[in-house]
Amino acid sequence: MNAVLELEKVEYAYRRNTALRGVSLQLKPGEVVAVTGASGCGKSTLLHCAAGILTPDAGVVQVDGQDLAELPEEQRAALRRTKVGVVLQFGQLVPDLPLVDNVALPLLLGGHERGEAHQAARRWLDQVGIAEDADAVPAELSGGQTQRAAVARALITGPSVVLADEPTGSLDSRAGQELLDVLLEAARYRGAALLMVTHDNLVAASADREIRLRDGLIQHEVAL
């Protein structure tokens, strides 16, 4: 089976601080991979490179066989919108938009009609269990609810891969477990591969494979 996400010898440095020193990994469709490691080991940088948010200094990032570096900006944004879903620690929703608009955003930005996009967004909000909060703005909701909305937004376009950076990091253990269940179930429902960056051993244990980073390099990789 072809990899939906492939990173090959990816390097990245923040000025003099090298975050990644040639990391390679592959994700197959439907696979769940956890990236763990101490703070500052390069986990989030790896995820941001995979999402196309950061451009690596060296190496290749391919999504569904397409090299991100070779795509013009417009196509890269379109690829990120349709093939990659991103969930960050605090949801990072647009603060002044109601949840339904936030979740519908990838479709709206892709040129879909408002009614059609809203219909899909409401379906996804129902899927992640917050249908009744569709018209609320993020500030009116709990951290767990905004994270659920972020999961819905990440999955609404039917991406091949979902990238989650500490998705449960801002939640208590119960809300974290609930969100993790929602994320895994939704990703499986879509058949999307899931790459999660986490500090939490329980979250890592739910993955098919764990990759441990240390000082910008893969220290070890284990199937769970």
Partner 1 sequence: MTLETLVQLARSRTPADRSRVQLATAALAFSGALLLGALRIARLGKGELGNDIYSNYIAESGLRSGLIAILIILAALTGGLAVQALRLGTAARERRLAALRLAGASRKQLRQLTVADAAIAGLAGGLLAGPAYLVLSLLFGALPRMARILPGAEPIDALLWIPVVVMMTAAGVVIGSLLHRDGTAAPQPQSASQRHTGIVAGPVLIALGLLTSPYMGYVGSTIALAGTALLFLSTSGLWIRWLGRRLQRSGDPANLLTGVRLMTDSRPSSRICMLLGSCGFLVGSMANGIASVVADETTTSATSVSFYTTGFGLTIAGLVLIVLTAIAALIVGVADQLVDQRRQLASLTALGVDLPFLRRVIRRQLTVVAAPALAAGLLFGTVIGINRVSGGAVGPFDPGTLLLAAILTAAGWLFGHLGAAAAGLLLRNQLRDALDPENLRAA
Question: Contact positions toward partner 1, by CB under 8 A?
Answer: 53, 73-74, 76-78, 80-82, 86, 88-90, 92-97, 101-102, 105-106, 108-114, 139, 143, 153, 157, 170
Q: Which residue, 78 or 217, is less far from partner 1 as judged by CB?
A: 78
Three-class SS of 88-104: CCCCCCCCCCCHHHHHH
Residue 102 or 206 with smaller CB distance to partner 1: 102
Give 184: exposed, middle or buried? Use CB within 10 Å, 0-12, 13-18, 19+.
Answer: middle
CB nearer partner 1, residue 5 or residue 86:
86
Residue 7 or residue 156: which is nearer to partner 1 going by CB? 156
Minimum CB–partner distance for residue 81 and partner 1 (Å): 3
What's the min distance (Å) between Cβ of 156 and partner 1? 10
- Compute the least distance from the CB of residue 24 to partner 1, in Å: 25
Which residues lie below 8 Å from residue 149, measured CB to CB, with a gap of 6+? 91, 93, 99, 102, 103, 125, 128, 130, 133, 138, 141
Query: Smallest distance, Å, CB 7 to partner 1?
Result: 20
CB-CB neighbours of 21 under 10 Å = 16
